[in-house]
Structure 1
Amino acid sequence: MNTVNAFQLPSETLTEDELAAITGYKIPSCQRQWLQRNAWEHVLTAAQRPVVGRMYARLRLAGVKPSATNAVTETWSLDLARVG
């Protein structure tokens, strides 16, 4: 196993497979319709494929209505107190 890839962070946007899993559709036009019907914020690529932010999707799936206050990424700091 390549240790560099083991710690790679996920993309800021959902993958095509993740979007298909949420909407139930693989065809972009159907995904757009589902997102519009369910009032999900999204943008379109030049190819008219919907793009949904990962943090937004996590909040929506958790039953939280995303806003400017709760959509901020968690802050963290490096804690070396227990490093010996």
Structure 2
Amino acid sequence: MTATPAPDREAQLEAVLQAALYLLGARQDQMLTIEEWTDLARAVAACQERKTADYLTEHDLEDIAERYVLDWDEATDGPVSNLDG
């Protein structure tokens, strides 16, 4: 008998799949937005019990802090930047 994933795990896997589909679509269009990249990082981080910021570059985090209005929760996503001020 195969165990079915718990609802939280199923939701995490669905988020990874959705983010991967967006990533594939962006690659086909030869473009990828910071929002799509962040969605993928957030989904992978949730599955691996890590922070979204762990999967983004310092440049990405600076862009998020300076230019983009994203739904960012430092408790789950991690700090937006390690820079002081």
Q: TM-score, normalised by structure 2?
A: 0.29
More strand as a share of residues: 1
Q: TM-score, normalised by structure 1?
A: 0.29
More helix as a share of residues: 2
